[in-house]
Structure 1
Amino acid sequence: MSILYTNIPPLRTQNGKDNFRDKFSDYIKQADSVEIATGYVSQDALEMLDKCVADYDINHIRLIVGMYYIEGMPENIYNTLVRMNKKWRDRSVGEIDIVCTFRYHGKCYLFSCNGKPFAGVIGSANLGAISLNAQTRRQYEVSVNIEDKNNLTELQEHIRELTDKCSKVISDVPNIPLVRQENLKLKNVEHVDRINSDEIATYKRHLTGPTIEIPLKVPKDHNDPKLRGSNINVCYAKGRKREWWETEIVNSKKISGLPGYPEYKKPFMVITDDGWKFEAWTCGDNNKNFYSKDDLKIMGYWLKGRLVAAGIVKPIDHVEDDKDFKGLITEKMLKQYGKTTLSLTKTTQKTKNEHGDLLDVWVLSFLPKQLKED
């Protein structure tokens, strides 16, 4: 047994002393089975763990997450955990469990090979500590490693009891309380203003007419060649080079012909469910195009930014190099997010734009079904 420090100045790891991140890396490279029980996780660490499972041919992985069922789980963490759990179970290598009986704040790591545990780590380090980011670079953790057979057996039994008595596979846990992740991509963007929750509530008290549900036309999955270059995936269209954030929403006649649909080329102000304010309009043949008026990226920053904040997709810097369509938005991804349409509702209110023009106000929502309004 030895103490595992954290290599952060001014408490740099001295010669001959181990740190948690290096020890974790050494052990997982030797293991074919890994079991982890932790209070919290981070998205970076989850992605790193998933990569380790693939790179080091881990044939059994169990991750137990202990604090979120009672406290609430960030939606990006939830979506990442669901996606990884499905991937691991489809490959028959493991699963992700959620502690449902109490707040579990332990941090236990058990590494085995050929059916026998050979090392373990316990201490203060949540799973996020395996990944270097702005937070972990300045967060000091202390742990100890275990290689004694009796202690390893005891740790193995603890994890087994936690699994059998206190946890369920995440796919079998209904109604996990989710915490919405704030999309800050529109912060300081020209032609966009921030409004507070009281202002949002005021506009919602003045809704009028039916809500128009605008379907987001996307491919079913990454293998579906249809709609790869249209609507919210217009950046993948052939022709001129576009940024990943550019978004054009093209409606069918069935939608554009609905009573109360916005008038042709008559700008209106959009108030979003998460507190952003920008101009939009409808235009094009049959009045089918629904855009953010001043910049196509504004709608993308809002809509795609929600998916990025929720851990559904990562933005692509150079779309022309994305040959595997990793940044493509699919129906499967929208369903995981919890909403496949935009909800647009007119209000009786009016507001002035930056030029002093008086515009109608509409409320635009992309709030997932499993999340409650603030």
Structure 2
Amino acid sequence: MASGYTSAVILQQYQEYIAKIVNDGGNFTLLVGMGIFEGLSRHTYNKLGELNSLILSANPECGGVRFVWNPPPFHGKIYRIKYQNELLYFAGSSNFSKRGLFENLEFTCKITDLSTINQTEAYINWLLTDNISVNFDKCESFPIVESVKANRKKINFQKVETQPIINSTIPYVDISLARVDRQQRSNLNAFFGKGRWNRKTGIVIPRDWFEVEVIVDIATTKNPVYLKGNFIAYTDDGLVFPCRTQGDYHKNFRSRDDLKILGHWIKGKLQQKGVLELFEPVTSQTLEEYGKNYIRMYKLSDSDYYLEF
């Protein structure tokens, strides 16, 4: 079955039935389409791990639990069931979750048209290729909701002892974020892009939600105030961390040692303002509600800049 979402309750409820299927020599695969892109609770993630181990220990030829990792995420609901030597296909709106099966008003129907059955079969097989999804055991650093929230608190930003004094004589350049709607899987939204896939091992490491790398337009990189290379960033809320610009025209603006540091600063401000929730994309509407769609960089020296957002 392929489902955008699932839940720990339904996994526990059906675990015994799934165990019987695989222990009797049957095959079982659960594809979770949205987990990597929206995160999972630790409880649901652990239940999926238990189910995957149960399935593969009984029958290593089974697909087990798989996650879609290559965007776009899968939001559909497809059930392929073999009953009395006949393959049955169902599609609709019901996730493999307690709400989807028992609580919400949903609609799911059997597919009977042969052409549609063939298309559905081909689509399922495509979803199960390693280029689109991977087994639970092949996905490292999975975005656990509780862990991401806890890690936000663990970031030890260095505090400045004396805040730089900014006045009208200090040159500055504005880094526009206005193109964010055209950068839905990069820039401030790298989390929704393709994870890091090791073709040799098959291991996938999803992007962290706080990982960002601001892509600066060429016109701005030609501004003499714009820094090329390493620098120390002082922020308008009293933080300091190392940054750099790199790549063609030095258009990639990032925190130096960890891409998440700049992301924690930018997204942290958006969260504090109440315009962005965990695992949501940053959009032009987000920035409009925040009240600013650019980062202003004041040049304090050749290696020190003051960031205002």
Scaled to the shorter chain, the TM-score interval is 0.3 to 0.5
Q: Structure 1-normalised TM-score?
A: 0.38
